[in-house]
Amino acid sequence: MHYGAEMTRDHRMLDRSFRDLLWDDVPVLAIALALFCIELAIFLYNGIAVGLELAVVNARLYTAAGFAMLVIDMALLLIRNRPDRPTMFLIETYMRRLRSPVFLAALPIFAFVIVFMPFFSKMKSMIALFNDFSWDPAFIAWDRFIFFGYDAWEVLQPVLGYPYVTAALAVAYHLWMLLIYAGTLFFVFYQAAAGFRREYLLGFFLIWTVIGNVLATMLASVGPCFVGPILGMNTFDAQMAYLNKANETVPIMTLRVQELLLGWYHEGERGLGSGITAMPSMHVAMAMLFWLAVRRVSPAAGKLFFAFFVVIWVGSVHLAYHYFVDGLVSVVATLILWQISQAIIKWWDAQAFARRQPTLRTNTVPAE
């Protein structure tokens, strides 16, 4: 059999105890718990019902993503190791992984990920309770200032204004969900990403809260595709006319989603992914977070996901979801939160290292 490389990796994973690994995650778990409690208190104060239904839906989505990743992982294991008994090899490999301290220590933080996102979505759909959608005129003016009197979509239109290009951008925009599910699973459980897992997850929680909830409420806006039906503005009628015309040539996936979001808004729906908000762009923020983290794991993958980040930002404007400044604010805020995440983890590790020194000296220095 040729499982030497796989077994060597697994033994390295077992070098640290479950308690040590869980202790490493304390700052992420503590901050996530604090943010969760704040949002829960806001719900209860406003008489919003809180249940586990959305967490169950979220868990199912993660399960589906996990199954797809498992199939890919099994295929790669078999190709790399070429075992004589493939089934037994896979069973033994995954049993080792399931029993490993690395996997077990990742479960608490994964539970927070499953529960946290539905609460974010609920909060996102409650923005209208805390602030009116009044910022769209300002963001339109800011875009026109940046682009010398033009709306951002008008500047992009000569390059992107072809139905098949628009349809491709719409598909890419939907692929963003892979970052939320498959991408997060990668950072939670895969050994290749272990060195940057905590920074990514802390950034993940902070971005959903600070950018997706706090800034979105303070800068409440609906975005180009909704200024007409919600605010009665005709500023982007020409853009929506182009998108609908393109949809007659090839399906533009985002148009159907925009219809669903508008319907949910009028019905007061507070389900997973049901809220309307433009500024800042969570699509841009999460695409940037993933690029910042994955480039540390693989420079080649970093280049790929930088391109994806640019496509998401450009697509968010072309598809009428966002103003250009929505993405700009997201970029600045994400960079700040990423730096904060790194600083917190670095500080925590320094404290943990200092605490271990007396023990190390006691265990390694011989008695005189």
pLDDT at 2 over 60: no
- Other CB atoms within a 10 A radius of the CB of residue 194 amount to 18
How confident is the model at residue 253, as a pLDDT? 95
What is the longest distance spanned by two Cα atoms in the chain? 86
- pLDDT band for 100, please (50, 70, 90 cuts): confident
How confident is the model at residue 12, as a pLDDT? 46
Least confident of 212-216, 271-275, 353-357: 271-275
Contact call for residues 193 and 200 (beta carbons, < 8 A): yes
How deeply is 117 buried, as exposed, middle or buried, from its count of CB atoms within 10 A (0-12, 13-18, 19+)? buried
| Closest alpha carbon to 223 in 260, 270, 276, 261 | 276
How confident is the model at residue 333, as a pLDDT? 98
Quick one: average pLDDT of 317-343? 97
How confident is the model at residue 271, as a pLDDT? 54
pLDDT at 155 over 50: yes
Quick one: average pLDDT of 23-35? 93
Contact call for residues 10 and 96 (beta carbons, < 8 A): yes
pLDDT at 3 over 90: no
**CB within 8 A of 347, min separation 6: which ones?**
none
- Residue 336 CA: distances (Å) to CA of 211, 239, 349: 11, 33, 20
pLDDT at 214 over 90: yes
Higher pLDDT, 273 or 276: 276
Question: What tens digit of pLDDT does each residue of 290-321 get?
Answer: 999 999 999 999 999 999 999 999 999 999 99
Contact call for residues 108 and 92 (beta carbons, < 8 A): no
Instruction: Give the whole-angstrom CA distance, residue 3 versus residue 97.
Output: 14
**CB within 8 A of 295, min separation 6: which ones?**
301, 302, 303, 305, 306
| Closest alpha carbon to 24 in 117, 111, 108, 96 | 108
Least confident of 19-33, 115-129, 336-350: 115-129
Contact call for residues 121 and 212 (beta carbons, < 8 A): no
Least confident of 132-146, 189-203, 227-241, 288-302: 189-203
Question: What tens digit of pLDDT does each residue of 109-143 get?
Answer: 999 899 888 887 778 778 878 889 999 999 999 99
213: its two tokens: 């909830």
